[in-house]
Amino acid sequence: MRILGIDPGSRITGYGVIDSDGKRSRYIDSGCVLIETGPLTDKLGVIFTEIERIVILHRPQVVSVEQVFVSRNVASALKLGHARGAAICAVVNHGLAVSEYSPRSVKQAVVGSGAADKQQIQHMVCRLLGISHALRADAADALAVALCHAHTCSTLQRFPQRIHGRRR
């Protein structure tokens, strides 16, 4: 399964692409969409266009996106929400399913601690994917979101399916 992970931001949006069979994951590509200063509408257009370009280039089967972390600055959270919306619209426009994960869940899945810092995430992403070059924090975060989805899907496949609360 090819997974596109997205770490949205109004100034930097990270992306990461992996292939995973649930047991092993393989690095395909990662990077950052760098958004220059300007009106928010122009920034959202750049995010939409670049994420759409990445979807066309890599043909992911599913997309995972980090949820908004609401801090004390409501204006920043709102801008982040707009950036997420632009990225999600770009992938949904191509008929892709989107899964969302909290920052804590992503850290837990990749590092083993929901309180992990950026350096720990970068280190573990490189270890898990066999990456020898340095990654920007936003690209590493996006790869972590993709790995979180791969681990979650693998775990869910081990449990019996339930239909209307009953086992099949």
| pLDDT at residue 18, rounded to an integer | 98
The pTM of the full predicted model, rounded to 2 decimals, is 0.89
Cα(162)–Cα(121) distance, integer angstroms: 33
Tens of pLDDT, residues 78-104: 888 999 999 999 999 999 999 999 999
Q: What is the total count of domains within the chain? A: 1
Catalytic residues: 7, 66, 138
In terms of residue numbers, what domain contains 96? 2-167
CA dihedral 7, 139, 120, 96 (to 10 degrees): 50
Provide the CATH number for the domain around residue 123: 3.30.420.10
| pLDDT at residue 159, rounded to an integer | 64
| pLDDT at residue 165, rounded to an integer | 52
Q: Which residues contact 118 (CB under 8 A, 6 or more apart)?
A: 137, 140, 141
- Encode the chain (168 residues) as per-residue pLDDT tens digits: 999 999 998 899 999 999 999 789 999 999 999 998 889 999 999 999 999 999 999 999 999 999 877 667 788 888 889 999 999 999 999 999 999 999 999 999 999 887 888 899 999 999 999 999 999 999 999 999 999 999 898 776 666 665 555 444
Chain mean position to CA 158: 23
